[in-house]
Chains A and B, each alone.
Chain A
Amino acid sequence: MLVMPSTADAGRTFKEIYDTYGTVMLKVARKIIRDSYLAEDAVQEALLRISRNMDKVGDIYSPESRGYVLTVTRNASLTILKTKKGIVEMEESLLSAEHLPESCDIEQDVISKVSYEALVSIIRGLPKIYADVLYLDWVMNFSIKEISEHLDASETTVKKRITRGRKLLMSRLNENNQEGREHNGTK
């Protein structure tokens, strides 16, 4: 295992993350966990998970880092909530209503036909259980192992969510393109 960067630098970055994002992290946690004390625990848990990946955070003020902090906080909150409400059940029920394509490949030509705003809207509409793993994979370039540590889930579960997330994204992209063609009177 690599030795961490200099202690002083890691400490400074950690403090910067807390000072910059602590308030929003607490808001995110409180939206998920109504218990304020548990929400504070979730924020601390999220900070611990972030602290284990300081070397990958890079510029903590970058747009990527904002999304990363949000993702980690949300999942730390869900980890705590999981012990209370069995939230794992949601994953299967979400997929049952969708007709998903066989392939989980992200087809570039499909993406090219979607407007940027529509793409952002589709991503925001994805269930976070899938969007978060895709964010950690595609934006933060984390390994499966690192993602599983962030989400407190097994590597098998992470791989499943990535596959399902890709399929769901493609399904909605195709729907969007289909609606666009119908709107324009094309087939």
Chain B
Amino acid sequence: MEPNEKLRSAFIEAYNRDYDEVDASEELDEFSEYDKKRGCPRRVVTNSVHRTCHSFGRRTARIRVAAIVACVVILFCGFMSVPAIREGIVEFVVEKFQEYSLVTFHGTDTGNVERGEEGEKPLLPDGYTIVETTELPYFFEAKIVAPSGEEIMFVRTADGAGISVDTENAVTMDLNIYGYTCMGIEKDGESTLILSDEKYGYILSSTDGMEVIKNFACQLFH
């Protein structure tokens, strides 16, 4: 049975009184210096929407790790020779803190390549299909289905965006895809790849395995 208007109104009043009590309390109301040094939540949140790295199940991920086990793996996508490491216009920086790590995409000023536009639709490899899209400030997000049916969460961002990634007890790895440096994360059956090219930063994730997103990335940058 649906609540009547009196009950609904009373709920709103009750919660607003709770809100007013909290608002009037003398708890500290400023973000810490620690947070300000890291780039301040105000700037991270309002200028770039602090997104979480997640699979299509939208599991929110936060980092709560004191030690990260990392191994370095170099991936060659069908080439015998190693391509030169390219410096993207958009670079990603990983800042590791005691409680969590922050991945931030920064645009470097080379002036040679046109910067990516947030609303520009991605050109997908053959056989891949976008089934859902979400556009938020600074992010373009899509659920993509691979030709063989696996699902990939595709997040693309331009300069100034940041994400936090849960790497507690995760395996992280440095990868190279066609000259683009990437960071791979494996945890609890969810695989994530963070990378950038000349125009955008990308976060690819899937619960169908790292090979699925590696294959997608290889074809995306080929």
Contacts and interface: CB of A to CB of B under 8 A. Distances in A.
A83 B99 CA distance: 13
A45 B60 contact: yes
Interface in A1-28: 1, 3-4, 7-8, 10-11, 14-15, 18-19, 22-24, 26-28
B50 to A, nearest CB: 5
Given A44-B50, A105-B1, A18 B45 contact: yes
B62 A45 contact: yes
Interface string A43-61: 1110111011000000000
A40 interface: yes
Contact of B52 (A37, A48, A112, A124): A48
Contacts of B6: 111-112, 116, 119
Contact of B11 (A18, A30, A37, A67): A67
Interface residues on B, range: 35 or more
Interface in A55-71: 63-64, 66-67, 69-71
Nearest to A138: B3
A27 B27 contact: yes
A10 B50 contact: no
Contact of A66 (B2, B9, B10, B19): B19
Contact of B50 (A24, A47, A80): A47
A30 B28 contact: yes
A48 B14 CA distance: 25
B193 to A, nearest CB: 21
B34 interface: yes
Contacts of B28: 26-27, 30, 36
B7 A119 contact: yes
B134 A40 contact: no
Contact of B23 (A27, A64, A124): A27
A7 B7 contact: no
A154 to B, nearest CB: 12
B133 interface: yes
Contacts of A71: 15
SS class of chain B's interface: helix, strand, loop or mixed?
A: mixed
A123 B16 contact: no
Contact of A27 (B25, B44, B51): B25
B108 to A, nearest CB: 24
Contacts of A23: 23, 29
A14 B49 contact: yes
Given A14-B49, A15-B46, A37-B99, A70 B136 contact: no
A8 B164 CA distance: 23
Nearest to B34: A37
B49 A51 contact: yes
Nearest to B20: A66
Given A24-B22, A70-B18, 20 more contacts: A11-B136, A11-B137, A24-B19, A26-B27, A27-B22, A27-B29, A37-B35, A41-B62, A44-B45, A47-B50, A48-B52, A63-B13, A67-B12, A70-B15, A106-B4, A108-B1, A119-B6, A119-B10, A124-B18, A138-B7
23 contacts: A1-B133, A7-B119, A14-B137, A24-B19, A24-B22, A24-B23, A30-B28, A43-B41, A48-B51, A48-B60, A63-B16, A67-B15, A106-B4, A111-B7, A116-B13, A120-B10, A123-B11, A131-B11, A138-B3, A138-B8, A139-B8, A139-B11, A139-B12
Interface of B: 1-4, 6-19, 22-23, 25, 27-32, 34-35, 41-42, 44-46, 49-52, 58, 60, 62, 64, 99-100, 118-119, 132-138, 143, 164
